[in-house]
Structure 1
Amino acid sequence: MGLRLVQPEGQQKPKCLLRFGDASLLERHLHFLKAAGVTEVVFVTGFKSEQIEAELASIDWKPASEIVVNEEFTLGSVLSVHTAREAMTRGGDVLLMDADVLYDERIIEPLVAGGSVNRLLIDRDFEAGDEPVKLCVENGVPVELRKQVAAGLAYDTIGESVGFFRFDHATATRLAEICAEYVATGRAKMPHEEAVRDLLLENLQNPSHAFDIADVTGAPWIEIDFQNDVKRAADEVLPQLNALRQFAGATGALQR
Structure 2
Amino acid sequence: MRAIILAAGMGLRLVQPEGQQKPKCLLRFGESSLLERHLQLLKTVGVDEIVFVLGFKHEQVEAELAAIDWKPHTEVVVNREFSLGSVLSVHTAAEALTRGGDVLLMDADVLYDERILEPLVAGAGPVNRLLIDRDFEAGDEPVKLCVANGVPVELRKQVLADLQFDVIGESVGFFRFDETAARRLAELVAGYVATGRANLPHEEAVRDLLLERSQVFDVADVTGAPWIEIDFQNDVKRAADEVMPQLRQLAGALR
User: Which TM-score bucket, shorter chain as reference?
Assistant: over 0.9
Q: Which residue of 2 aligns with 1:103?
A: 112
Deviations 1:34-90 (A, max 9, x none): 111111110000000000001111111101000000000000000000000000000
Q: Helix, strand or coil for the counterpart of 1:149? A: coil
Deviations 1:182-201 (A, max 9, x none): 00000000000000000001
Counterpart-to-counterpart distance in 1, 2:50 and 2:208? 25
The structure carrying a bigger helix percent of its residues is 1
Whether 2:215 is the aligned partner of 1:174: answer: no
Q: Does 1:94 align with 2:108?
A: no
Match of 1:135 in 2: 145
| Number of positions where the alignment pairs a residue of Structure 1 with one of Structure 2 | 242
CA distance in 2: counterparts of 1:225 and 1:73, whole angstroms: 16
Match of 1:21 in 2: 30
| Residue in 2 that maps onto 1:240 | 246
C-alpha distance in 2, partners of 1:21/1:179?
Answer: 36
Which residue of the partner structure matches residue 173 of structure 2? Answer: 163
SS in structure 1 at match of 2:153: strand
Paired position in structure 2 for 1:252 = none
For the residues of structure 1 that align with 2:94 and 2:15, how far apart are their CA atoms? Answer: 33
1:8 shift after superposition:
1.6
Gaps of 5+ in 1: 250-256
Aligned to 1:147: 157
Sequence identity percentage:
81
* Paired letter, 2:230: I
**What RMSD over aligned residues (CA atoms) do the two structures have, in Å?**
1.3
Letter of the structure 2 residue corresponding to residue 192 of structure 1: H
Rounded Cα–Cα distance in structure 2 between residues aligned with 1:75 and 1:4: 14
Q: Which residue of 2 aligns with 1:35?
A: 44
Question: Structure 2: how far apart are the matches of 1:45 and 1:98?
Answer: 11
Which segments of structure 1 move beyond 2 Å, counting only runs of 4 or more? none
Normalization by structure 1: what TM-score?
0.92
> Following the alignment from structure 1 to structure 2, what is the Cα–Cα distance between the partners of residues 14 and 91?
29
Residue matched to 2:81? 72
Query: By how many angstroms is 1:10 displaced?
Result: 1.4
Which deviations, in whole Å up to 9, do the C-alpha atoms of 1:225-251 show, x marking residues without a partner?
Answer: 00000000000000111xx339x99xx
Look up the equivalent residue of 1:212 and give its one-letter code: D
Aligned to 1:84: 93
Pick one of 96, 110, 127 that aligns with 1:117: 127
Separation in 1, partners of 2:249, 2:53? 29
Deviation of the 1:6 alpha carbon: 3.4
**Alignment-derived partner of residue 232 in structure 2:** 226
| Structure 2 gaps, min length 5 | 1-9
> Normalization by structure 2: what TM-score?
0.93
1:62 aligns with 2:71: yes
Give the letter aligned to residue 213 of structure 1: V
Counterpart residue identity of residue 58, structure 2: S
SS at match of 2:13: coil
